[in-house]
């Protein structure tokens, strides 16, 4: 059987998955129908957990060098923005960088790591035969066929891979639209972000590179399910003037577009040897710029599992956990974005009162600010791991300080599971328990400022930076046995509870 994985779709999700597979030595082909990277970037935002994801592989420096940093985020474009200052991360901000540039940087990395990236190659069909997947491709030099161990559809909301697999895309149709434009402003407002909500509509304005600005508008006339035609510069001007009293001298548009709140999630993220990630698995209103981020984190969750399965280091049950862990995240993303759409779409005095009340609660209740900020940034995502009872199990591991010279993220760059011995229990045979994975023993016990980690004796960290197992045990024999069992189970997990069928969107 072929050990090749074919990724259909060359956006950030597909490129990051290619990087992860190549890190594990898996033959990887990326098929992208567009001959060039689309210069029009609907996504501009890279959130904290996605920066951490890249940092786990030391792939974040280029993004940090080029992106703008905004120490806050928005929920439904409320006047009171979410403060990221208290987020428990090395990156307490939103990074603004066009998706086209993010894709370019990730593509460069994937190619440098040995991925076969083929642009201008459109997939016309794929068939799962049980032992392999046959992929039909229309390339610049004609049609051809590829055989693959697995195929991953990262090919957007109109996914050909999802169609071929017969996976239902369930949810709700559009009830609201929005418009956006990338323009030059003769009289731009000061500050990194400008936003305003009135009963006449709401808009947000964000500076881009090259002297351009992104303007996003949502108005009462957008509460409709039909598409009113192509957006024009004059329509965008009129909408912004109506809300802000000025159009900021906008001119020279490079992109004008409409979008909708159509919200759907794939019933299955895996069907046999075919898997889905990113927009092929979930579609939603682009509120808060979370779409790219959820897709990259899909790829991070899937990459190490798929690599371990292809290389024969894991049972098929590990690949099943991809759906069980990421499908609820897709559902949650739809809930989060639909709730914001509802708050933004009530253009009335009652809507103004609701927005005012929510804004006051965010300011008065720091816990609410923090909860929404963690959700928006992706830091709140945690997985349910069957059989694991420690409160850290399934949670993201922060960049813990392990010695004067090393932090946790430094030790995960090779994409292998890591057993950490915090040095608190004499006689703990962590070197034997860790085999065949990596093991790190703190040279001396390090005081952890985070209360949840203060008493942890040992923890097994997955390649995607989530805690597979943790223990506060102080008995050396019990700790050794517990760690060894956790290591053995990582690639042969217990089956997750069966979820009921139905429309969860």
Q: What is the pLDDT of residues 114-170, one digit of tens each?
A: 999 999 999 999 999 999 999 999 999 999 999 999 999 999 999 999 999 999 999
Q: Burial level of 334, CB count in 10 A (0-12/13-18/19+)?
A: buried
Domains of the chain in sequence order: 5-172+263-377 (3.50.50.60), 177-260 (3.30.70.2450), 382-505 (3.40.30.120)
C-beta separation of 125 from 161 below 8 A? no
Q: What is the pLDDT of residues 169-206, one digit of tens each?
A: 999 999 999 999 999 999 999 988 999 999 999 999 99
Omega before 436 within 30 of 0, i.e. cis: yes
Judge whether residue 353 has pLDDT over 50. yes
Judge whether residue 91 has pLDDT over 90. yes
Query: Under the phi-then-psi rule, with left for phi > 0, alpha for psi from -120 to 50, and beta for the rest, what region is 53?
Result: alpha
Average pLDDT for 68-94: 94
- In this prediction, residue 288 has a pLDDT band, given cuts at 50, 70 and 90, of confident
pLDDT for 191: 84
Average pLDDT for 59-82: 94
pLDDT for 41: 82
* Least reliable range by pLDDT among 16-25, 49-58, 438-447, 472-481: 438-447
Judge whether residue 209 has pLDDT over 90. no
pLDDT for 446: 80
* Least reliable range by pLDDT among 41-45, 100-104, 303-307, 457-461: 41-45
Who's near 418: CB < 8 A, 6+ residues apart? 408, 411, 412, 437, 438, 439, 440, 460, 461
pTM of the model: 0.95
pLDDT for 498: 52
pLDDT for 505: 35
Report the mean per-residue pLDDT for the chain: 94
C-beta separation of 39 from 100 below 8 A? yes
d(CA 172, CA 98): 28
């Amino acid at each position: 059987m072929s050990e090749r994985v074919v990724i259909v779709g060359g956006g950030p999700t597909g490129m990051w998955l290619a990087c992860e597979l190549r890190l594990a030595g898996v033959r990887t082909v990326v098929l992208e129908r567009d001959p060039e990277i689309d210069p029009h970037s609907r996504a501009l935002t890279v959130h904290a957990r996605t920066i951490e994801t890249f940092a786990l592989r030391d792939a974040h420096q280029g993004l940090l060098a080029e992106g703008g940093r905004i120490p806050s985020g928005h929920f439904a474009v409320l006047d009171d923005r979410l403060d990221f200052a208290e987020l428990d991360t090395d990156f307490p901000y939103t990074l603004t960088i066009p998706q086209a540039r993010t894709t370019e940087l990730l593509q460069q990395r994937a190619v440098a790591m040995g991925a076969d990236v083929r642009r201008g190659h459109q997939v016309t069909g794929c068939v799962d035969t049980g032992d392999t997947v046959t992929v039909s491709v229309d390339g610049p030099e004609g049609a051809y066929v590829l055989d693959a161990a697995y195929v991953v559809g990262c090919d957007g909301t109109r996914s050909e891979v999802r169609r071929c697999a017969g996976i239902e895309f369930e949810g709700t149709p559009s009830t609201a639209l929005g418009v956006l434009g990338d323009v030059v402003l003769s009289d731009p407002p000061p500050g990194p972000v400008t936003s305003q909500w009135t009963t006449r509509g709401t808009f947000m304005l964000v500076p881009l590179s090259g002297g351009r600005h992104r303007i996003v508008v949502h108005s009462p006339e957008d509460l409709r399910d039909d598409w009113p035609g192509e957006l024009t510069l004059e329509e965008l001007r009129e909408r912004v003037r109506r809300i802000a009293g000025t159009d900021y001298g906008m001119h020279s548009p490079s992109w004008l577009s409409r979008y909708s709140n159509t919200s759907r999630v794939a019933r299955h993220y895996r069907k046999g040897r075919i898997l889905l990630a990113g927009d092929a698995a979930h579609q939603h209103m682009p509120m808060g710029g979370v779409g790219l981020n959820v897709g990259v984190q899909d790829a991070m969750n899937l990459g190490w599992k798929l690599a371990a399965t292809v290389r024969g280091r894991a049972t098929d049950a590990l690949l099943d956990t991809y759906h069980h862990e990421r499908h609820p995240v897709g559902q949650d993303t739809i809930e989060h974005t639909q709730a914001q759409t509802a708050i933004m779409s009530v253009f009335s005095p009652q809507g103004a009162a609701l927005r005012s009340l929510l804004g006051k609660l965010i300011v008065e209740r720091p816990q609410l600010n923090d909860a929404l900020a963690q959700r928006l940034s992706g830091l709140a995502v945690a997985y349910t791991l069957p059989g694991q009872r420690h409160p850290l199990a399934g949670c993201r591991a922060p960049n813990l300080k392990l010695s004067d010279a090393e932090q946790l993220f430094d030790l995960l760059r090779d994409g292998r599971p890591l057993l950490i011995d915090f040095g608190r229990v004499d006689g703990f045979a962590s070197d034997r328990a860790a085999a065949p994975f990596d093991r790190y023993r703190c040279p001396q016990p390090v005081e952890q400022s985070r209360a949840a980690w203060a008493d942890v004796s040992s923890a097994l960290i997955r390649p995607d930076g989530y805690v597979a197992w943790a223990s506060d045990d102080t008995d050396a024999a019990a700790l050794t046995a517990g760690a060894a069992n956790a290591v053995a189970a990582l690639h042969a997990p217990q089956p997750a509870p069966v979820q009921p069928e139905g429309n969860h969107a």
